[in-house]
Amino acid sequence: MAATETPLIELVDVGRVYRRAGAGRRGVATRALSDVTLRIDPGEFVAVMGPSGSGKSTLMNILGCLDRPTQGVYRFQGRDVGQLSADERAALRRESFGFVFQSYNLLGSATARENVEMPAAYAHLGRALRAERAEGLLRAFALGNRLGHRPRALSGGEQQRVAIARALMNGGRVILADEPTGALDTKNGEDVLAVLADLSARGHTVIVITHDPEVAAWSERRIELLDGRVVADRRTEGVTRPARGDTVVGPNPSPRSEPSGRRTGIDFQRAAESLRGTLASLRANLLRGSRLRTALTVLSVTVGVWSVVAMLSVVQGGYRESVETVSRIGADRIFVRSGVAYGDRKSTPVRLTLADAEAIRREVDNVRAVLPHVSGQLTLRQGDRSVETTVQAAVPEMLVTDRLRLARGVFFSERDSADHEPVVVIGAGISDELFPVSAAVGRHVLVGGAPFVVKGVLARYRRSGSVVEDYRDKQVLVPLGTAQALLFGRESLDSITVSAEDPKRVGETARAVDNLLARRHGHRGFSLSSDIPSMIGFSTVERLMSALMGAVGAISLFVGGMGVTSVMLVSVAERTREIGIRMATGARRQDILRQFLLEAVAVTVAGGVLGTMLGFASRVVFDAFEVPAALSVWFVFAALACAVGTGLAAGIVPARRAAALDPVAALSR
Ligand code: ADP
Ligand code: MG
């Protein structure tokens, strides 16, 4: 064999010592390999022999970059492998090596084709190309009708051929086979060896560990180990290869370079593909033996998210209800009246005007509405009927702020006020008194002697069957402009009511109104009043309630998250060998980390979706018990964010543990 400039594989004084914590202070040291120096050239077919425990597997793991020597130097194509990072070694495994194990080491949850595709998936080869290539390899190994079978449904020989196909998926320049025929009967064993011999003939470098002298007889070179040392390294003349033609042999796949370098921005196709792959593996993993466990974990997260949604809705519902109560009792309002403080003889009362109301509306923060008030005691007359009552000037805004509902007709507009239209809106009680038999709207009525037209009648406040009159049924409202011009003959207002947007900040708003009016009038000839103490009580209770509910929700979510963590830890422990297989076929640490994180997130998102649905469904229960609950669309996002966050937090420890596994240790489980 012609020696090339740079050898493919070169070991110089390589040693490997295993240290295990033992009885002694330094633990027990096992010397598995000592002073191994050898060189292997491209296309060689090497048999490694030796008794059990002589270090064959250790040598193989070092050659395949699954393990690192503790002494000496290993160069692959001239590169010192000892200097490479874990991910660089993973890349080398992915691109240059193909492993074939005695126990096949196929993923039980994946089909034959998916098993073969795995190394290419980690090399980011496109889905279509991957499937095509995997199918081609399996067909060449007479497994064309076994593509969708899982390893369980395949014979030992078939499984080993799937494993060889997987070793060839990314090219497989160097095939490392650790006792590949150990678990096979003679016929199947011979088939597998014929395949390996043929690969060697096609230019692959094949290194095979075997006990079988017959196997060794096929090889061109025999390396013998004893107690971790190379005791013989012979090239055999006149190799007797099995006859060609009676076995199926794979194609000669040329080493393929990774399609990198042509990446621009975000590769959506690749992202979609990895998502699809992840979903497929999630489905496979969640549907394996641990189905009940997965279901229980999802359930625990469901309960956590459910309680978060329920708590949120109760807090929000309670808040809305209390804001409503507050505005109903008027605690969100500030009354401004003209007048001076008791005992103040120097100041004079200010004249509050519409301009003051406008200024408050314009300049003060947290103002929902500003209502100017002017009222007077007047007589209303209709034919021979009359009623003496309070006539109030009103602005159209009052319709909203006082929640007025009209039984008939309409409310007046800004225009009515500006044009001093003689129109009036009356309460149901007034309507009863003045128009007992006919409809009031459109009819004339004398207000303080002046003719007005009834524009609307308010809905009745008095409960049916109640003997108590409601004062609101006695309201008589005329447009502010009309009232000032036609009824009261003055520009000044009796008072101004300011409603706060956020009732909790009434105090602050009152101070701002106070300062504004003092500035406008030059002195404090007015007085402010509001129900601030009840607001303070309200906001304290509200804060306490939110904190309590939030704590309950967070605790249940935390408990759910711990469930996810423990299940994931068990899963990592159970799937150690799977992780080892993935690493041997070239998975980066990141790939493993991502896989387990995504599994955790998938479980919590499933719980999140169910929990949100339950949260919305429990509306029925809240309604039945008259608990004020409100649900918003943003709860869905909040709940899903909680679920994803919990998944990431709960999955990080198990995922890191999985990614940190040593491939050799993981494979030996
Ligand atoms: P072979 O494959 O030739 O049977 P190995 O390479 O598996 O031999 O093992 C060589 C020696 O190293 C044996 O004495 C074995 O007990 C020891 N050994 C192998 N793996 C480990 C390990 N992870 N920890 C400690 N000792 C080990
Ligand atoms: Mg071994």
Query: Whose CA is closest to atom 22 on ligand 1?
Result: 18
Question: How far is ligand 1, taken at its centre, from the CA of residue 227, in Å?
Answer: 10
Q: In whole numbers, what is the pLDDT of the chain averaged over residues?
A: 85
Q: What does the pLDDT average to over 429-451?
A: 91
How many Cα atoms are found within 13 Å in the side-chain-facing hemisphere of 4? 13
Give the pLDDT band of residue 24 (cuts 50, 70, 90): low
The CA–CA distances, whole Å, from 324 to 402, 529, 579 equal 12, 20, 58
Give the Å distance between the CA of 52 and the centre of ligand 2: 7
Q: Is the model's pLDDT at 246 over the cut of 60?
A: no
The reported pLDDT for the residue numbered 588 is 93
Query: If you write DSSP's letter for every residue of 153-174 in order, what string do you get?
Result: GS-HHHHHHHHHHHHHTT--SE
Most ligand 1 atoms within 8 A of CB, residue of 14, 17, 36, 58 to mutate: 58
pLDDT digits (tens, 9 = 90+) for 194-226: 899 889 989 999 999 988 887 777 788 999 999
Least confident of 194-198, 258-262, 473-477: 258-262
Which residues sit opposite 408 in a β-bridge? 457
Residues 628, 317 contacting (CB under 8 angstroms) = yes
Over residues 627-648, the pLDDT tens digits come to 877 878 888 888 888 889 988 9
pLDDT above 90: residue 339: no
Ligand 2 centroid, distance to 579 Cα (angstroms): 20
Q: How far is CA 550 from CA 310, 336, 562, 633, in A?
A: 10, 39, 18, 18
pTM of the model: 0.68
CA-based torsion, 245, 249, 253, 255: positive or negative = negative
Atom 1 (ligand 1): residue with closest C-alpha?
53
Q: Cβ(58) to ligand 1 under 6 A?
A: yes
pLDDT for 252: 42
Q: What is the pLDDT of residues 127-138, one digit of tens each?
A: 889 999 999 999
* Rounded average pLDDT over 94-116: 93
CA 53 to ligand 1 center in whole angstroms: 6
Q: Is 315 exposed, middle or buried (0-12, 13-18, 19+ CB in 10 A)?
A: buried
Q: From the CA of 31, give the closest atom in ligand 1.
A: 12
Find the 16 Cα to ligand 1 centroid distance in Å.
10
- Strand 423-426 relative to strand 450-458, pairing: parallel
Per mean pLDDT, which of 168-172, 215-219, 594-598 is the most reliable? 168-172
Q: What is the mean pLDDT of residues 473-482?
A: 93
107 C-alpha to ligand 1 centroid (Å): 25
- Which residue has better confidence, 572 or 580? 580
What's the one-letter identity of residue 480? L
Residue 604 is inside which H or E element, if any? helix 589-617
Ligand 1 atom having least distance to the Cα of 19:
25
| Among the listed residues 603, 610, 606, 577, the one whose alpha carbon sits nearest the alpha carbon of residue 592 | 577
Q: How confident is the model at residue 253 (pLDDT cuts 50, 70, 90)?
A: very low
Say what the pLDDT of residue 305 is. 87
346 lines ligand 1 (CB under 6 A): no
- pLDDT tens sequence across 511-533: 999 999 999 998 888 888 876 66
Closest ligand relative to 227 C-alpha: 1
Q: Is the CB of 113 under 6 A from ligand 1?
A: no
Distances in Å between the Cα of 350 and the Cα atoms of 121, 375, 380, 480, 481 are: 83, 18, 31, 20, 20
Q: How far apart are CA 410 and CA 398, in angstroms?
A: 13
HSE (CB half, 13 Å, CA atoms) of 551?
A: 6
Name the residue at shortest CA distance from atom 2 of ligand 1. Answer: 57
Q: Tell me the range of 217-221, 247-251, 262-266, 660-664 where mean pLDDT is highest.
A: 660-664
Asked whether 61 lines ligand 1 (CB < 6 A), one says no
Query: How do residues 406-417 score in pLDDT, each as one tens digit?
Result: 999 999 999 999
For the cut 80, the answer to whether the pLDDT of residue 536 exceeds it is no
What is the Å distance from ligand 2's center to 189 Cα? 18
Atom 11 of ligand 1, residue of closest alpha carbon = 32
Q: What is the CA angle 151-154-160, rounded to 5?
A: 75
Query: Nearest ligand, CA of residue 667?
Result: 1
